């Protein structure tokens, strides 16, 4: 069974953390993963840096740029993760844009993921119908889940289609904007969370974008199975460093 499925069988609200591989420092990837697992995080999304990350806000864009300047590449990330399953047992998801994966070679990319023990991918610019028609069989062969994003503007028919095609979870973008931390959610977001919950989808939902503290984490998980924090965690890393990760996680689950 895929580790993502195993995690969703647990009777709890899940916390997933996103960070850009190679940031703040090139060799921080594995230490960050170790500290996140030790702090009790349920799942980690490792960002594959890209020069033109259109869906990301300034914090993640800057971290991606810094990672590239540090020398992060797809091959470098795979080398860092080569023996990661000797130490890390929680689900690991690679999040990135399709262009670098195509340049690497999709089949080769999937093979490396399988060998290392990556559980799934999030590719914001890969449309669900293109994935379904052209790539799902390949991903399935290598035991890789592919998670899709929905927004408040996504039509119900497309959400139902994504639910049919999806494995793992559906990434529920909290608002129609780029990534970035917020201090609270308004009635618009709450109504959206309630509307999706009422659809009773087969695939669990996890909320991302705008989650930065215990208040937004609680609001996001009231109507979903979990939440993803990226920008706020990256800012924390820049300010306090890898050694203090447990402090950040504790503040979210306070």
Beta strands in the chain (DSSP E): 14-20, 43-47, 92-95, 120-122, 145-147, 149-150, 170-173, 205-208, 226-229
Which is nearest to 118 in space by CA: 75, 159, 69, 84?
Answer: 84
Among candidate residues 28, 42, 45, 119, the one labeled active-site is 45
Among candidate residues 27, 56, 156, 247, the one labeled active-site is 56
Inter-residue contact 14 to 225 (CB < 8 Å): yes
φ/ψ of 121, rounded to 5, equals -130, 150
Confirm whether 45 is a catalytic residue: yes
Beta strands in 33-112 (DSSP E): 43-47, 92-95
CA pair distance 15, 212, nearest whole angstrom: 12
Confirm whether 42 is a catalytic residue: no
Long-range residue pairs from 74-77, CB within 8 A, at least 24 positions apart, any chain: 74/48, 74/100, 74/101, 74/104, 74/109, 76/22, 76/26, 77/21, 77/22, 77/29, 77/46, 77/48
Inter-residue contact 185 to 218 (CB < 8 Å): no
Inter-residue contact 170 to 207 (CB < 8 Å): no
CA 47 to chain centre: 8
Task: Show which residues are catalytic.
Answer: 45, 56
């Amino acid at each position: 069974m895929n580790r993502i499925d195993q995690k969703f069988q647990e009777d709890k609200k899940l916390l997933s953390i996103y960070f850009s591989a190679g940031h703040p420092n090139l060799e921080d990837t594995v230490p960050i993963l170790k500290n996140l697992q030790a702090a009790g995080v349920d799942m980690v999304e490792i960002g594959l840096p890209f020069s033109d990350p259109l869906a990301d806000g300034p914090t993640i864009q800057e971290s991606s740029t810094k990672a590239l300047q540090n020398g992060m590449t797809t091959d470098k990330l795979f080398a860092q993760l080569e023996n990661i399953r000797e130490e890390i047992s929680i689900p690991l998801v690679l999040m990135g844009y399709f262009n670098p994966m195509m340049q690497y070679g999709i089949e080769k990319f999937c093979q490396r993921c399988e060998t290392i023990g990556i559980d799934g991918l999030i590719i914001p610019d890969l449309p669900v119908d293109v994935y379904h028609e052209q790539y799902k069989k390949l991903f399935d062969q290598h035991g890789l889940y592919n998670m899709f994003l929905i927004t408040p503007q996504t039509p119900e028919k497309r959400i139902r289609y994504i639910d049919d095609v999806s494995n793992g979870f559906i990434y529920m973008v909290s608002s129609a904007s780029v990534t970035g931390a917020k201090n609270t959610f308004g009635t618009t977001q709450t109504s959206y969370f309630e509307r999706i919950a009422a659809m009773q989808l087969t695939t669990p939902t996890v909320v991302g974008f705008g989650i930065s503290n215990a208040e937004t984490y609680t609001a996001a998980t009231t109507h979903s199975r979990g939440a993803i924090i990226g920008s706020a965690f990256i800012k924390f890393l820049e300010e306090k460093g890898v050694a203090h990760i447990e402090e950040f996680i504790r503040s979210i689950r306070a």
